[in-house]
């Protein structure tokens, strides 16, 4: 796999933490040139320094502060990549935020923000990268969620955005069926990351803590390893974790049963908005 990614150019959004950060390290270890995109310039600089300290060549990396909810930022990200490396082989749309609140109590600005970052961020980056991905016969990845296959209670904005990403990417694949563009829908289950710490509450403020036992979840490093392997194998869809597979299967054959199981499972979270 190392020879496959050597000198390939990989863009990763949300690259300053969690799955994005772990994916940056993984692709770099496989010999790729990695473009790091995230809102925090300071965190990007730290990531850049860590990669350099691992013995990787600085000229093989580019850090571009990017707010994916802004179209101009996404356009600049792609333009900066082409200016430095001249090509794009893989785009990993990983940037995303979550939420936890009942819809009846939710400020609609929270849904707008979730869609702006999760869905429109994917659309903007893909739109501007697409000509170069078609040229390289490359891969566009959407890091979605099991919540994009089955609605997750108290996460209306999150599930909606992930469903939208899957619909967008699935359509994109069919449109370019004869162009050798690979489109990967990559759906982790619960994975250890900071996404739950920064998840928005009903009024749009971060909840500041996770309601789940992070240490019992799949690690971001393992998730990144599987993502890299899926890109290498040009997979179309990957669903991670046993719970993820069971959820998708039950939703197909026993949806009413899954509704009850899911409700009872999620209401056990500490301070759950479900009663």
- Residue 274 placed within a domain: no
Task: Name the residue range of residue 253's domain.
Answer: 2-266
Task: Report the run of H or E that residue 156 belongs to, with start and end.
Answer: helix 156-175
CB within 8 A of 88, min separation 6: which ones? 9, 11, 78, 81, 82, 129, 132, 133, 136, 138
pLDDT greater at residue 57 or residue 114: 114
- Cα–Cα distance for residue pair 94/121, rounded to 1 Å: 9
**How many C-beta atoms surround the C-beta of residue 4 within 10 A?**
13
- Residue 275 placed within a domain: no
Asked whether residue 57 carries a pLDDT value surpassing 90, the answer given is: no
- Residue 166 placed within a domain: yes
Contact 262, 150 (CB under 8 A): yes
Percent of the chain with pLDDT over 70: 92
- Residue 222 placed within a domain: yes
DSSP state, 11? E
For the segment 260-274, the average pLDDT, to the nearest whole number, is 90
- Which domain CATH number covers 260? 3.40.50.720
For the segment 261-272, the average pLDDT, to the nearest whole number, is 89
Total count of domains within the chain = 1
- Residue 272 placed within a domain: no
- Residue 271 placed within a domain: no
- Cα–Cα distance for residue pair 247/269, rounded to 1 Å: 18
DSSP string, 62-111: EEEE--TTSHHHHHHHHHHHHHHHS--SEEEE-----B-B-GGG--HHHH
Tens digit of pLDDT for each residue in 119-134? 999 999 999 999 999 9
What is each CA distance from 3 to 6, 10, 36, 122, 236, in whole angstroms?
A: 5, 14, 21, 28, 22
Q: For the ranges 25-39, 88-102, 205-219, which has the lowest average pLDDT?
A: 205-219
Of 197, 44, 160, 21, give the one whose Cα is nearest residue 92. 21
- Residue 83 placed within a domain: yes
pTM beyond 0.85: yes
- Residue 273 placed within a domain: no
Contact 18, 197 (CB under 8 A): no
Catalytic residues: 158
Task: Report the run of H or E that residue 187 belongs to, with start and end.
Answer: strand 182-187
Tens digit of pLDDT for each residue in 194-240? 665 678 999 999 877 766 666 677 888 999 999 999 999 999 999 99
């Amino acid at each position: 796999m190392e020879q496959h990614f050597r000198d390939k150019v990989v863009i990763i959004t949300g690259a300053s933490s969690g799955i994005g950060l772990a994916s940056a390290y993984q692709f770099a270890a496989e010999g790729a040139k990695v473009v790091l995109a995230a809102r925090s310039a300071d965190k990007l600089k730290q990531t850049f320094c860590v990669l350099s300290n691992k013995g990787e060549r600085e000229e093989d990396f580019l850090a571009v502060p990017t707010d994916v909810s802004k179209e101009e930022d996404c356009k600049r990200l792609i333009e900066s990549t082409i200016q430095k490396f001249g090509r794009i082989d893989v785009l990993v749309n990983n940037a995303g935020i979550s939420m936890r609140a009942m819809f009846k109590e939710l400020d609609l600005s929270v849904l707008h923000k979730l869609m702006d970052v999760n869905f429109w961020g994917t659309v903007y980056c893909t739109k501007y990268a697409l000509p170069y991905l078609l040229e390289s016969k490359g891969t566009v990845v959407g890091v979605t969620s099991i919540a994009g296959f089955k609605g997750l209670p108290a996460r209306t904005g999150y599930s909606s955005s992930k469903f939208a990403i899957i619909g967008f990417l699935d359509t994109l694949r069919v449109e370019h069926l004869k162009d050798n563009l690979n489109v990967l829908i990559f759906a982790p289950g619960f994975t250890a990351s900071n996404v739950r710490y920064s998840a928005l509450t009903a009024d749009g403020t971060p909840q500041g803590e996770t309601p789940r036992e992070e240490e019992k979840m799949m690690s971001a490093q393992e998730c990144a390893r599987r993502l890299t392997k899926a890109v290498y194998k040009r997979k179309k869809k990957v669903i991670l974790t046993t719970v993820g597979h069971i959820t998708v299967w039950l939703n197909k054959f026993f949806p009413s049963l899954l509704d009850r199981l899911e409700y009872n499972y999620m209401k056990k979270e500490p301070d759950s908005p479900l009663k």
